[in-house]
Amino acid sequence: MTSQVQPEAPLAGILVADFSRVLAGPLATMTLADLGARVIKVERPGTGDDTRQWGPPMSKTGATYFESVNRNKESVVLDLTRPDDLKLARELALRADVLVENFKPGGLEKLGLGYESLAEENPGLVYASISGFGAAGGRDIPGYDFIVQALGGLMAITGDQQGDPHKVGVALVDILTAKDATIGILAALSERASSGKGRRVEVNLLSSLQGALANQGQAYLGAGVVPRRMGNDHPSIVPYQLLATADDPLAVAAGNDAQFGRLCDAIGSPELATDPRFATNSARVRHRLELVPQLESGLSSAGAEVWQTKLVAVGVPAGRVASIGEGIDFAEALGLEPTIEVRNAGGEIVGRQIRHPITWTPALPQRTQAPPALGEHTEDVVAWLQDEPQP
């Protein structure tokens, strides 16, 4: 069978058995695939990964949700309730360097695909388990990003002060968990290079969320402060928020007193920078309600795009609120090359995707295999698994 691995890639030669679905697991395995690993995605007969049906929106090749996290993979359909298919799944796991799964805790153990069982025959296996709330007291709680945002405290600090709690506009907790899983896998592979032994890596959505609370989490633990919803305001920096202009709102982030002074000069109110109520950041935080109307009064003379240009020119971080498309266009204008074209097995360009964000020097060839059709590689993978492995 034809391998898609680029020999120059950092993870060339690494085989990943992907028993995950939806977002966190597939994003982690796509990251490994982007870095050169061969990823074989095991899917259920008939429907495959849940996200194959999560549309609209749909591209000409399928659900865009599925496509966002499944490029550079091979898809094999196996029915794990059938002994012959389960035997093939176990053979894949025994040949793998990495296994990623997000079954309900204990689910793969019941099928003979748990870590302890596999590690006896494949001691170098790095086995990554992803769950919603861990394998102990939270093992039976469904692990959906939206629920974790609610239970973990993120929604309590997201949204307008007088409005309802809000989720983030993307499944951010799944994405954070995917990155934590990838970090754990790469660390375990690094350790294995010297020890020869793999290990189990466990991550859960709740812990990844809490690990990302940063200053907000430490405000509670270190100072007993219970963070609250503040809309676009920052609890510790002012101005670090949206400010009204003559047309659209403008994001302004004056992270130090020098930047604040330049902001005041730019809007024609230099006296604000020396006013005792606003001269330091701590003073500005205390007098936020007095300061913001004066800043917005100065900004009312022009629109957001004009102010963005003027403020950035004098070293004040500022930006108008753009759409996703405008954000991609902006990145392209900066030369960041934010997208790649993906191709099917015949080499035809079938779509465009956000590229992996790491840039390498010397450059590595990009892997641009389109997300697989359900079972696209079943015949080849099964034939390979039925062959005797090479010593």
Catalytic residues: 174
Q: What is the rounded CA–CA span in Å between residue 133 and residue 357? A: 28
Tell me the one-letter amino acid at 389. Answer: P
Strands (E), the chain: 15-19, 38-43, 73-77, 98-101, 126-131, 200-204, 240-243, 250-253, 318-320, 339-343, 349-354
Nearest of 264, 237, 250 to residue 319 by alpha carbon: 250
Q: How many residues does the chain have?
A: 391
Strands 240-243, 200-204: parallel, antiparallel or unpaired by DSSP?
unpaired
Q: Are 249 and 273 in contact (CB under 8 A)?
A: no
What is the b/e burial string over 104-117, where b = at least 16 CB atoms within 10 angstroms of the residue's CB? ebebbeeeebbbee
Which residues, in sequence order, are bridge partners of residue 349?
343
Q: Can you spell out the DSSP letters for 105-170?
A: TTTTGGGT-SHHHHHHH-TT-EEEEEESSTTTTTTTS---HHHHHHHTSTGGGSS-TTS-----SS
Cβ atoms within 10 Å, residue 228 = 11
DSSP state of 373: P
Q: How far is CA 168 from CA 159, 175, 357, in A?
A: 9, 12, 21
For residues 230, 158, 153, 176, the Cα torsion angle rounded to the nearest 10 degrees is -130
Residues sharing a CB contact under 8 Å with residue 311, sequence separation 6 or more, in sequence order: 252, 262, 263, 266, 317, 318
* C-alpha neighbours within 13 Å on the C-beta side of residue 312: 11
Q: Are 204 and 130 in contact (CB under 8 A)?
A: yes
